[in-house]
Amino acid sequence: MIRISRNASLDEIIAEIQQVEDILYRRAKDEQLSNQLEQLSLQKIETLPNRRYNKYDSHKTTPRLSNKYSINRNMVTSSRHLNNQSQRTVNTNTSQQLNSYGCCSYGGYRHLARSCPTQYGDYRQRQSKPNPKKRQKNPGRKDQLDCCVDKCVKSLAELHSLETYQQINMNTRCIFCSVNCTGYCCSQYSGVNRGLKFKRVLQLLEKCSESVMYYDEINLVVKRIQQIQSFIVPFEFHPIQVFDARKHVVDLVAKRYLQKTADDVHHLLPIDVLGNGNCLYPSILLLMNSSSVTTDELRVRTIIELMANENYYQTMYSQYVGPIDIAIKSICKNHTFSELYEIATLCNVLQCNIRSIYPKIDFQHYMALWHSVFTPVPPVIAKYSIAILWSHAQNENDARVMNNSTWSPNHFVPLLSPNSQNDSNDYNTSTSINITPQKKTFKNTSAVQIRIPEYQSSPSRRVRIDASIEKDPAEPIISGSVQNRKSDQENQRQIQLEKKKQRNRSSGMSETEEQRQIRLEKARKRN
């Protein structure tokens, strides 16, 4: 019963109204709590992790409870009107709506979060001050309800996050085959070769690059790739630094271009790489010791790095090679020529410094960036350094003919240091061959020595030669092969003389006495 005299002041009227509002507020809360307790006893809430809720589902109650709750469902009014003033109402429909999850209470009370008593706290009730005298009668009741509300909200948030996580996991599609799975890689592709996985991802990125909204689709695929741990773990890069003739072949065309660069790199050797438009990544693979890494993996990792540090690369290189989104679209297509973006990005992927060497052909001042050293983006620290040469698949003259008298690179080759040990071995081998040369000709698959004619020297020359040998003992000794050849020639000469003597004897025995006298007469005249 509200009792206010006609002469009551405004403060007394406001205090009495606040008292009425406080009574109605506590009455609504008590009714709501009893409703929740009865509802829990009837429904026996199922285990929360195994249930799936819909925020649009309505709360179901028994007809008896619905009729009971319908009294105060729409509005709560006072029993009397004061001085023809409009009645105050508490509209429960404007309260905060919560999902139908269980709420843990304090002191034994339990209710559903959707029907939490906080829905009765409208703006007017929050602004009003309850009667201090009434609160002194039961000071712990209000605190108990506030604690119940806090626990309700906390429990609701935890359950909502758990359900969201489960829902995302159940709706995830495999990035390789688009089959629903609990992760981003289904059981069918979990055991597939690493190279085949990156090949499949590159095909997916290439398909996204052909779309009208290519950037958004590529970004979505990259975010899905980043959820797979094996795709984001950096691999160890230990580059080869020295040329090996058993594995590498020198690119002679690139070697001519190398001579038109800085003097401090002229001693390096350019290695031959297949020029199929994808030459930058094979150049990196040629320097790696790992056989499991493929060019597809390097290209995919480059795209991921560009998307991760997009702002940095855009600021540094867009003024030279254009917008980064166009570059990303181009990189997604296999066998496309690389630019500065890829070289700078590979520094982070490989965790190394890359020296870019550009020939001084039609060189402009802005091309100084092409002929510089690229370093990783902090906080990545470089462990090694490699060198890459901008080259062309053809020599300069042919390249100009095909490109309207201008030259521009279309090829990359790695540079390695020469192996000094192999060079010294080659030099020693060549000098040893020059010490003892032998003249030989091969006929009928058998080696036959060439017969060198021998001339008779004068006795005086023989004496001078013998004297020079005695005076100069440091003269190189004739090799065994030369001595054998001279002995063979001497034997042949003795055989020929012996044959001549035999012919003379045979001719002397057959001549007549008259012929003998004539021969002797001629000999006397010569003497």
Percent of the chain with pLDDT over 90: 31
State pLDDT tens for residues 164-183: 444 444 457 777 776 676 66
Please state the separation of Cα 57 from the chain's center in Å: 47
Q: What's the chain's average pLDDT?
A: 71
pTM for the structure as a whole: 0.51
pLDDT band at 314 (very low <50, low <70, confident <90, very high): very high
State pLDDT tens for residues 250-282: 999 999 999 999 999 999 999 999 888 889 999
Domain boundaries, the chain: 10-168, 172-233, 237-421
Q: What is the DSSP string of 29-83?
A: HHHHHHHHHHHHHHH-PPPGGG----TTPPPP--HHHHHHHTTTTS----SS-ST
Residues 6 or more apart from 515 whose CB is under 8 A from it?
none
Among the residue ranges 341-350, 372-381, 394-403, 449-458, the one predicted with the least confidence is 449-458
Report which of residues 379 and 150 the model is more confident about. Answer: 379
Q: Note whether 490 and 456 are within 8 A (CB).
A: no
Whether omega before 379 lies within 30 degrees of 0, making that bond cis, reads yes
pLDDT recorded at residue 84:
39
Report whether pLDDT(198) > 60. yes
Topology, domain 237-421: Cathepsin B; Chain A (3.90.70)
pLDDT recorded at residue 508:
59
